[in-house]
Structure 1
Amino acid sequence: MKKVGAVRSVVCSILVLLLCVTSFTGCGKKNDAANSGGNETSVEPGKVDKNQIFKAEKIDGILAQGERIVCMECIGDRIKAFVSTEEEKDRCISFKPDGSDVQTFDVAIGEDYHSQYCTFDKDGNLFLNCFYEHYNGAPTEESSDEASDAASATEEALPEVIDDSSKGGKAYIIKIDSSGKELFKAELPEELTEDPFLSITAMEWTEKNGLVLCTPRGIETYDEKKGFNVILDEKALGGSYDGFGTLFKDSDDRLYYEGNGEFACCEVDFANKSLGEPLKGFEDSMYEFFRGADHNLYVKSFDGIFTYDSNQGKLEKILDYDYSNIGSGQWTTVGCAVALSDKEIIADVPLDYNSELNRLTKVDPKDVPDKTLITMSAMNMDMRVESQIMDFNRTNDKYRIEVTKHYDYQDDFNNDVVSGDLPDIIMVSGIYSDMYSDFGKCVDKGLFLDLTKEFEKGGAFGDIEMLPNIAEMMKTDDKYYSVIPSFAVVTYAMREQDAGGKTSMSYKDCEEMAKSHNFEIDKAFGGMIKKDNLVAHEWKFNKNKYIDWENSKCDFDNQDFIEFLNFVNKFPVESDDYPKDGEAFMNPDFKYANGEALFRESPFSNMDSYIELKQGIFKDNVTLIGYPSKDGENLSYIMPIAFAVNSKTANKEGACEFIRNLFDIREGQYNEVPYAGFPADKSRFEAELERSTKEFSGDSESDYFYFGDKIKKKPLSQEEVNGFKDFVIAIDTRYESDDEVGKIISEECASFFSGKKTAEEVAGLIQNRVSVYVNENS
């Protein structure tokens, strides 16, 4: 089976995400459930409801790496699941609830098809919706029969894919029995396949009414003998119906439709061809549903799992994801699930960018240990940190981390500073990235704990040898008030052969090189770059020369900044590379691969992103030249993930223990989380670099990247790794974006770009305004 194209894969992913977002709109609103007659109770922050804690245990031997569960049901005394991968290698799995007696067969319908929605009937037969796209002829019965033979290891090719996307495609419903034998294959009517991808958007099987579908025509049934039959048309589903909806049934075989507007969670009345009253308890919130023993329905939201009695409209929370530490932090939810009882659930649990099959078992409240709460706040929460919080809470018997505040704006943090209402741990990356002067003011006010001694022998971080440049970035007044466990690197890159031996570029070098390649300057930088964006953001590469917060000084009225302004002024006001209405978006990185651009802004959060730059985007050796400057200095910066500890914390030991835990990355995590960041610990940083010199087996999805095609990574040479290491530890600039300074620069530069003022005049105005700002905020 082969993908028709990368764009379709992206669209599929977007649709799945949109459907998930729709299903979970308003989730976690505890008061909504309580007001609707449910037993949901509000728990005071920091307090753990021990009645809502489940233990997660991985069920080995079911899912292969990279597989995701599309649908899962309990059929008799077995659990059946249909699973797929990014490459659409599908299979059907059956196993006993204890995880034993695993039976499986490949679902090989044919090449060039996409499987979408599926469901099982009471006998365990699989109903699968799939589509073939843009063929010069429909698949023949002979080829599809051969291709669908699950016992055959060979997949027969279907007719050749053509590029004319206006010709639609073919969509099918296929029924496959428990042995993998295809029982029938029904082609959907032409009116449903104008876009075969959207021909069916939901599928459910009921004992009373058979197979039920959501299609562009509404809700309809399909029977092998009677064919398609529309039960509720678009009009009956309301004016907002656009072909999208969700179907689910309860343990009493009643079918419900979840859609837009007024029709939220309504029972489908087949006899009267209408929708019943909405289920009680979901007036203001929409959830996702699954079935199981002991209750009519089970309900998933973004904060836990509930039981639901559809007869009484009673919603009761039984599992809290955070209390139970289920998920990765980024994805505190579960995927497909089956409830064996209200005390045991089999569920597909997302972990970073993978998932695993877990058994969730209720923990006796008396066996839940009391832990000391460590509170934490953040402005821009990093994905790996969220995962590390979950890992820490799962394994630490003494402390529990709870993120009590997510700052949306700098003012939110400033208000807490004024009130003194700071948590034990403050993720200060957000402060660095918005207004570093506030960090200095916090230190001056004594709000952050001096952690210098913790880096000495016997201290919490005494066993950590920091990269020297990162250690310097953590200092304020030669003391450590923050800790940086990981970081990203931001620079500019170009082909090594184009750099001609240079390791950095002056403005003049860039202009001459662009001219030698017959590029306009903006095209040399990949297009899609406007002068207002450049002037507001790229000055940060050289911000060390412009602002000295420690000494309350700034220097914009100099030749370096003036030449920066003159360089930026050569870029257009608007880029003509942005797609116009109706035009498809093309990945701008293809321009670098095709030699149509020279200089690329390149962030690296691990060695995989560096490998992709070399082997995919440029398909050649690269030189990391940094942003250009007046004198050709290599301007690159470090973007840290940093933490501080409240000086008034009563839990210094626990706070430091958690931050120390952030240095310990489990094996393979840098593969699993693309934005994990480089470790700031010297030995771990070197180990991460060394990993990239090893041969990639090809057994894992992390051994590949996608750039047009699926590309297997090649190991880097020791020389390449050493060069990258030397480059990183030479960077002495920490990312500190000040929105107010950027605003001042943008405002004053408008008159320069319009020709009303010279660069020298504007530099002087910026100098005056920023000086006042720095003095007022230092």
Structure 2
Amino acid sequence: MKQFILTLALASALAFTACGKDTPDKITLTGVYNGTPVEIGALSEGEQLSNLREMYASDGVLHLVGSVMSEAGMEQVILTMDAAGKWERTVLPITEQARAMASSEEGYLFVTSEFDMTTFTERFVLMGADPDEVLWEKPLGELFELPERYHSTPMIAGHDGAWYVAVEDTLLSLDADGTVLASDVMTDSVRGLFAADDGLHVWGQGFHSIIDGDAIREDAAWKSAMEGVNTVIPGGGYDFCKTSEMGLYGVHAAEGTSELLMNWVSSGIPAVPGNIAVMSEDVVYIYRSDYADTLTGERGLWRYEKCPEDALPERQIIRVTYSENGRGKIPLAAVQYNKSQAEYFVVCEEYSATGGDYVTMAEGISRMLMDGSVGDIVELESLTELETYGAKGYLADLNTLTGDLIAADDIFGCVRTACETDGKLYGIPQEFALATCAVKSGALDAYGTWDLSAFMELYDDLTAEGRFITANLSAAGITEFLRETLMGSFVDLEAGESRFDSEEFRAAMEFLASLPEKNACGLNVWNENHYVTDEVFLFEATVGCYSEWAMLMAAYRGEDFDAVGYPSSDGGAVKLEAEKYYAISEQSSVKEGAMEFLAYFLSPACTLDEMRGMRKIPALKSSMEAWNESEGKMYYYFENDNFGGWSGDTKPFDPSRVGPGMEIFAGDPAVVDALYDFLDTARVARPLPSELQTIINEELAAYFAGDKSADETAKLIDNRVGTYLAEKK
């Protein structure tokens, strides 16, 4: 499980001078840099810098290392700009793209590679060069004993007249002619090299060595300062600079201190940049090429200057506590929102900060909610957390804040059902999917309530007929299928009662134990459609976009179907799947502003991404309408003999070319209405706490292994669940 660090220093690292939740007064931001695009004067008209491999500042000069397509062909270049803004272009003496480059006063060291399609291996070559020509070449395999199928680019650096090359835990020093001078084996794999005034720094997991001539010494202060650092950025008057999800830091290794120089979001940058050059603590160059930069339209080279504090905009702070998952949705939304209005300013608190005691994410959020250090908006991981923290009074009821921002009927019914407790909406996902099961219309009518008993009866009937209840018909597969059903049928969270020590549960365990160990359904349901032929009864589907709804429709080739959900004690229920849920702290003094940003975060401005396509369903119907305009142009085609190999296009398919199959037009009002009806009326299963899931998984595993009887297992689960319920009262 992902962990993060809870720290009292967290708030001070957020780049503002006072805490937003303590006062509704406007607060002066600090740590803000203003950016302006920079034209690369070393490029001719029509030329573009591509494959930027390195960018750094040295002695007041900016260096960009990459490729340029010129009239002479593809050139490998170093583009430099001095303090006066004068650009120069140096063409490197190699034609192939370098995987890595090091430079010194004498010349360059390159690493190039080529992929061998016959052996599926990469061949790395070291090249030593002066400014005019390549002087020597050596295959990496002649210098190192490489592991089989080695793909990692070796670390290289130049220092004190020698070249250094590291592969895994071995470090070689070479002279200017490529002759090996020395070989050292480090205590672990080398993660990085860089040259400094006090020597060559070599670091990896658990060590930090400094090489000065023939001497190698360990440095505990540097080792501590480098923990968690992947890329060293020189400059700014610091020993080095580093990045986090929050911003750019300057580090004094010997003192063991670091300071936040630049807050990404406060400076209008939606994602951690890949190429940064620090001229000084006041001037930073960034080459913006992230996908988020494409969405904002701010790509290429930018110069950022620290904004004088007396020139900073005064706005009311909205703090967002969130966890970055690689998609950057919160920072991107914050940057766009901050530009769209002048009243509020969103500050992002990514809670994998440094320092303090390690705790699990759930424990940390709980502590932050209790001690009041959580942001105005908090990102949670589950519906269980929403319900728990809402009941304890930590979360605001969004229904009292939406006002004119979000109409009551704009939230899909399944979302409102899942996220509301006693009429109070404690949080909401930005987007979601629904996991369900489907059958031919009316196929379950004879079995009454779609619960555990009905499932077992249906299994017996289908098995007797030589048919399969699901495509994953094994003990493990059906146990997973029924996991939440089993727990929901034998535990009552509201009453605090456990009924696992019962004949019904023992019968369920014996049923699961009787199932085959390996999948008994040998049908390939993706090559051929075995659902329309009734060979496989339940079609499991996760509906998060129009193409997935179309696949559910295609499973029955136009026949009516029922999305019956998974069996539960109260009848069929679907599972709502969302990565995150967003809530507003009850302690926030800027609830109205927080609700404004949350409404913006749920709007088409932050949910519609036509470049990537629809992947999840937005929580708001108004945002879904924006997707309808895009997805409403799509035709989906499902071949009869290749059910899983569907195709999508903006024009109808020609069956004579693609083969027999079924075409579904996403813009058909009947398709749209059917999907909306499903999203509005589906009954969402109440999720059970992960602790209960762990208990039943552990004890069932022991039962299936033959370590315990059904009677022992039922009593153990009942006791453990009962203890859990008692502790939660």
Q: Output the TM-score relative to the length of structure 2.
A: 0.66
Which one is further off, 483-492 or 92-101?
92-101
1:404 and 1:518 map into 2 onto residues whose CA distance is 51
Q: Which of these residues, 286, 289, 297, is aligned with residue 232 of structure 2?
A: 289
Q: Which of these residues, 412, 416, 419, is aligned with residue 471 of structure 1?
A: 416
* Residue number in structure 2 paired with 1:46: 19
Could you list the runs of 5+ residues in structure 2 that have no partner in the other structure?
21-26, 69-73, 353-358, 445-449, 531-535, 636-644, 651-663
* Residue number in structure 2 paired with 1:642: 581
1:64 and 1:471 map into 2 onto residues whose CA distance is 53
- Give the letter for the 1:129 counterpart: T
2:4 and 2:719 map into 1 onto residues whose CA distance is 47
Q: Which of these residues, 435, 454, 463, is aligned with residue 491 of structure 1?
A: 435
* Residue number in structure 1 paired with 2:140: 188
Q: Report the alpha carbon displacement of residue 733 of structure 1 after superposing the two structures with TM.
A: 0.5
1:26 and 1:643 map into 2 onto residues whose CA distance is 19
Identity of aligned residues (%): 14
Q: Which of these residues, 438, 461, 466, is aligned with residue 388 of structure 2?
A: 438
2:191 and 2:322 map into 1 onto residues whose CA distance is 36
* Residue number in structure 2 paired with 1:209: 161
1:460 and 1:486 map into 2 onto residues whose CA distance is 15
Residues 78 and 94 in structure 1, CA contact (< 8 A), matched pair in contact too: no
1:230 and 1:464 map into 2 onto residues whose CA distance is 74
Structure whose residues are more often strand by fraction: 2
Residues 172 and 185 in structure 1, CA contact (< 8 A), matched pair in contact too: yes
* Residue number in structure 1 paired with 2:71: none
2:708 and 2:8 map into 1 onto residues whose CA distance is 57
Q: Which of these residues, 25, 31, 54, is aligned with residue 71 of structure 1?
A: 54
Matches within 5 A, 1:148-547: 161-162=117-118, 170-174=123-127, 186-190=138-142, 192=144, 193-195=146-148, 197=150, 201-205=154-158, 208-209=160-161, 211-215=163-167, 218-221=170-173, 226-231=177-182, 233-235=183-185, 238=186, 240-242=187-189, 244-250=190-196, 255-264=200-209, 266=210, 268-269=211-212, 272-276=213-217, 278=219, 282-286=223-227, 287=229, 288-292=231-235, 295=237, 298-302=240-244, 304-307=247-250, 317=259, 319-321=261-263, 324-325=266-267, 328=270, 333-348=272-287, 351=290, 357=300, 358-375=302-319, 377=321, 384-385=329-330, 387-389=332-334, 391-392=336-337, 397=342, 398-401=344-347, 403=349, 408=360, 421=372, 423=374, 425=376, 427=378, 429-430=380-381, 432-433=383-384, 438-439=388-389, 441-442=391-392, 446-456=393-403, 459-462=404-407, 465-477=410-422, 479-491=423-435, 524-525=471-472, 530=476, 535=479, 538-540=482-484
- Give the letter for the 2:266 counterpart: S
Three-state SS of the structure 2 residue aligned to 1:489 is strand
Residues 436 and 563 in structure 2, CA contact (< 8 A), matched pair in contact too: yes
Three-state SS of the structure 1 residue aligned to 2:406 is coil
- Give the letter for the 2:333 counterpart: Q
1:512 and 1:68 map into 2 onto residues whose CA distance is 62
CA deviation string 1:531-589 (max 9, x = no partner): 7xx6578433687776665677888799997886565434577x899xxxxxxxxxxxx
Matches within 5 A, 1:692-703: 692=631, 694=633
How has the CA–CA distance of structure 1 residues 380 and 229 changed in structure 2, closer, same or farther, with 3 Å as cutoff? closer
2:519 and 2:14 map into 1 onto residues whose CA distance is 55
How has the CA–CA distance of structure 1 residues 734 and 26 changed in structure 2, closer, same or farther, with 3 Å as cutoff? closer
How has the CA–CA distance of structure 1 residues 255 and 424 changed in structure 2, closer, same or farther, with 3 Å as cutoff? closer
2:524 and 2:95 map into 1 onto residues whose CA distance is 37
* Residue number in structure 1 paired with 2:656: none
How has the CA–CA distance of structure 1 residues 352 and 632 changed in structure 2, closer, same or farther, with 3 Å as cutoff? farther
Tell me if 1:678 matches 2:678: no
Q: Which of these residues, 84, 100, 114, is aligned with residue 117 of structure 1?
A: 100
Residues 435 and 542 in structure 2, CA contact (< 8 A), matched pair in contact too: yes
1:29 and 1:422 map into 2 onto residues whose CA distance is 10
Q: Report the alpha carbon displacement of residue 247 of structure 1 after superposing the two structures with TM.
A: 1.5
* Residue number in structure 2 paired with 1:132: 115
How has the CA–CA distance of structure 1 residues 741 and 545 changed in structure 2, closer, same or farther, with 3 Å as cutoff? same
Q: Report the alpha carbon displacement of residue 695 of structure 1 after superposing the two structures with TM.
A: 7.0
Three-state SS of the structure 1 residue aligned to 2:428 is strand
Q: Report the alpha carbon displacement of residue 682 of structure 1 after superposing the two structures with TM.
A: 0.4
Q: Report the alpha carbon displacement of residue 202 of structure 1 after superposing the two structures with TM.
A: 0.5
- Give the letter for the 2:64 counterpart: K
Residues 130 and 171 in structure 1, CA contact (< 8 A), matched pair in contact too: yes
Residues 309 and 315 in structure 1, CA contact (< 8 A), matched pair in contact too: yes
CA deviation string 1:283-303 (max 9, x = no partner): 4544432345x6475411425
* Residue number in structure 2 paired with 1:741: 692
Residues 241 and 260 in structure 1, CA contact (< 8 A), matched pair in contact too: yes
* Residue number in structure 1 paired with 2:653: none
Tell me if 1:661 matches 2:600: yes
Q: Report the alpha carbon displacement of residue 480 of structure 1 after superposing the two structures with TM.
A: 3.4
Q: Report the alpha carbon displacement of residue 509 of structure 1 after superposing the two structures with TM.
A: 6.3
CA deviation string 1:82-130 (max 9, x = no partner): 379xxxxx985665659998999999978xxx96433456699782332
CA deviation string 1:363-403 (max 9, x = no partner): 11212234434455568989534543455456664344454
Q: Report the alpha carbon displacement of residue 45 of structure 1 after superposing the two structures with TM.
A: 7.6
Residues 188 and 205 in structure 2, CA contact (< 8 A), matched pair in contact too: yes
Residues 327 and 350 in structure 1, CA contact (< 8 A), matched pair in contact too: no
Q: Report the alpha carbon displacement of residue 214 of structure 1 after superposing the two structures with TM.
A: 1.5
1:555 and 1:677 map into 2 onto residues whose CA distance is 37
How has the CA–CA distance of structure 1 residues 473 and 757 changed in structure 2, closer, same or farther, with 3 Å as cutoff? same
Three-state SS of the structure 2 residue aligned to 1:452 is helix
How has the CA–CA distance of structure 1 residues 424 and 256 changed in structure 2, closer, same or farther, with 3 Å as cutoff? closer
How has the CA–CA distance of structure 1 residues 375 and 408 changed in structure 2, closer, same or farther, with 3 Å as cutoff? farther
2:365 and 2:399 map into 1 onto residues whose CA distance is 24
1:70 and 1:666 map into 2 onto residues whose CA distance is 32
Residues 451 and 480 in structure 1, CA contact (< 8 A), matched pair in contact too: yes
* Residue number in structure 2 paired with 1:651: 590
How has the CA–CA distance of structure 1 residues 485 and 354 changed in structure 2, closer, same or farther, with 3 Å as cutoff? same
Superposed CA RMSD in Å reads 6.2
